[in-house]
Structure 1
């Protein structure tokens, strides 16, 4: 006797295989763009967490941010950016205001760095409106005594740097606009003019005001460590538009143009089909 053909089980198995292939195929086609995934990550360094566009570095690829000055490194749990070979410690970032607070790394808890240089111009950044760029000056290699009483007037801001078993005297001078009419300050500046070199450190305007009432060396060090403000240029809202559409902000390295990395590919400004 002939056995009946088992057609329906075979067809059922074929249907099942076809169905599984159909539901698996879209998954392979919808894999997230690696650039989108990479730029979705943020930089974590010490107390500063969640660092994102326009900054890049560490776990964030170069295409996730802007120019080399926006690269962040992490040195002993301190986020650092480098501008014209000078390192700046990043204390705070405000993406809404496109602003950050930084301090000179070489002067962090230190008035005697290995090399003496004025703070580099901050391009591609600009100073914030509350930053004073010329009212805090550190003088090095000053005479240990003066024929006038200038030395005693400056005693509170006097410090000593020791290099190769040789010590030199330095002073920190804080002033506000209009102070040059003060006779004592004029005498002080004449005296400080005999020092070997000087370095100007940007600080916040409020710091200068406070130092007029309390110009001790500890207060001056603390003022420097509070840092100063910088801003980066507005991108005409492109990044906010990109983020709102579900994308991640970045830059085309060859052209320097803004790009929005979406799950499937990149677009010039925002991801399609999103509000």
Structure 2
């Protein structure tokens, strides 16, 4: 009888001790969103990328729906907006901007012209970006372009785009539209230090708007990680113990 009682006691203690660590472990969502963003098996890529961005190894509750990132070829982060795939070059989370380039450029295809992000309320072209006018010229031998760029259109046809220092004086060509470039790059381009293609692949800046920005700041101040409810998408403050509505350790949340 004593042996049976002793066995039961030891079993009960073992079960209790096994359960204790889980009571004090960090919340799974909290830990998952603290993890650095990784693209492929290599070193950490852009370790400071946080809310509202998510994707790859970060679940959707780590960010907002519109800010999903994908990993291409285990090395490049991409952001898809209104059917436009953009390769992410760098982030500036403090100023809520990111530098991106049309992914078509890295595949020998023509860039999208006259980009319009009115379909999303979250992204706009930042003031740190300027625009370059693109022309096609029926008789290119009759003009003196600043630079030109030949690429493949979506239908497979090849086309050459031309740019000029003073677009208003170009009468032999037809303006197709404009493409954004970094302001810092535009000066080098106009001084012929860069070709049109070189200027375009350096990308342009997008400014993004975070919903619940004030709530996110309050969450961070309380020691939490900004996130969202995986189904509704509403803001959640992910905390060490569990998700809260706005701040960690708020009673009744």
* TM-score bucket (shorter structure): 0.7 to 0.9
Specify the SS of the correspondent of 1:38: helix
Q: List alignment gaps of at least 5 residues for structure 2.
A: none
Q: Displacement, 1:109?
A: 7.3
Q: Is 1:137 matched with 2:137?
A: no
| In 2, Cα distance between equivalents of 1:258 and 1:162 | 43
TM-score by length of structure 1 reads 0.72
Q: Displacement, 1:57?
A: 1.0
| In 2, Cα distance between equivalents of 1:200 and 1:30 | 56
Specify the SS of the correspondent of 1:158: strand
TM-score by length of structure 2 reads 0.77
- Residues 209, 116 of structure 1: alpha-carbon distance in 2 compared, 3 angstrom cutoff: closer
| In 1, Cα distance between equivalents of 2:156 and 2:82 | 31
- Residues 18, 239 of structure 1: alpha-carbon distance in 2 compared, 3 angstrom cutoff: same
Question: Is the 8 Å Cα contact of residues 87 and 105 (structure 1) preserved in structure 2?
Answer: yes
Q: Displacement, 1:96?
A: 1.7
Q: Displacement, 1:158?
A: 3.0
Question: Is the 8 Å Cα contact of residues 116 and 199 (structure 1) preserved in structure 2?
Answer: no
Question: Is the 8 Å Cα contact of residues 86 and 120 (structure 1) preserved in structure 2?
Answer: no
Q: Is 1:249 matched with 2:226?
A: yes
- Residues 119, 263 of structure 1: alpha-carbon distance in 2 compared, 3 angstrom cutoff: same
Q: Is 1:224 matched with 2:217?
A: no
Q: Displacement, 1:87?
A: 0.5
Match for residue 267 of structure 1 among 223, 244, 247: 244
The count of corresponding residues between Structure 1 and Structure 2 is 241
Specify the SS of the correspondent of 2:195: helix
Please identify the structure whose Cα radius of gyration is greater.
1
Q: Displacement, 1:15?
A: 7.2
Q: Displacement, 1:270?
A: 1.9
Q: Is 1:32 matched with 2:23?
A: no
Question: Is the 8 Å Cα contact of residues 228 and 236 (structure 2) preserved in structure 1?
Answer: yes
Q: How large is the Cα RMSD of the aligned pairs? A: 3.4
Deviations 1:73-128 (A, max 9, x none): 11121110000000011011122222111111112374x43x85432316311222
Question: Is the 8 Å Cα contact of residues 29 and 238 (structure 2) preserved in structure 1?
Answer: yes
Match for residue 212 of structure 1 among 168, 190, 193: 190
Q: Which residue of 2 aligns with 1:200?
A: 178
| In 2, Cα distance between equivalents of 1:272 and 1:20 | 31
Q: Which residue of 1 aligns with 2:235?
A: 258
